[in-house]
Amino acid sequence: MNSHLLFDFSVNEENKIIHIEREFDARLELVWEAWTTAKLLDQWCAPNPYRTETKTLDFREGGFWHYAIVSPEGKKHWSRYDYKEIELQKSITELRGFSDENGMVNPDFPRTECTLIFSETDGKTHISMTEKYGSPEMFEKMATVSHKKGFSSHLKNLDDLLLTLKSK
């Protein structure tokens, strides 16, 4: 990751919100494609040494992304993101939750609402992400230094992928 690119991870304990700001050295169209296309998501969207495996991606309002984070030993941890609102190349609002391999969301964990705002200035893309946790327990689990490091790791994977895509 270019150390001059913005990365901010802030925690609002009172409202159970994590806010992440991140800048990428790539045009908006390319970052958007990497964020919304299964074959590209699978190349970056997991902290090392894990990987992502998409089962279904229906990127539209009312659609969803059903995927697994796969451990080096092959254990799959399933999640499902339901897309509530999409404004092309501007914003995505999704409901995130743990699921089973069939896409059934686990009712024991209230879902997290995540809003992503995309913008571009001088060829660099900025993403502002707000995660509102429906569960105090899940918030406590995610509002940690280890989550920040893991999230930073998979965004570094995106930096590397964007570099490869830009050179094509």
Assigned fold of 7-166: Alpha-D-Glucose-1,6-Bisphosphate; Chain A, domain 4 (3.30.530)
Burial class (CB in 10 A: 0-12, 13-18, 19+), 98: middle
Domain ranges across the chain = 7-166
Cα torsion 146, 94, 112, 98 to 10°: value is: -80
Cα(115)–Cα(37) distance, integer angstroms: 18
Digit-coded pLDDT (tens) for 11-70: 999 999 999 999 999 999 999 999 999 999 999 999 989 999 999 999 999 999 999 999
Digit-coded pLDDT (tens) for 56-87: 999 999 999 999 999 999 999 999 999 999 99
Cα(52)–Cα(78) distance, integer angstroms: 10
**pTM (global) more than 0.85:** yes
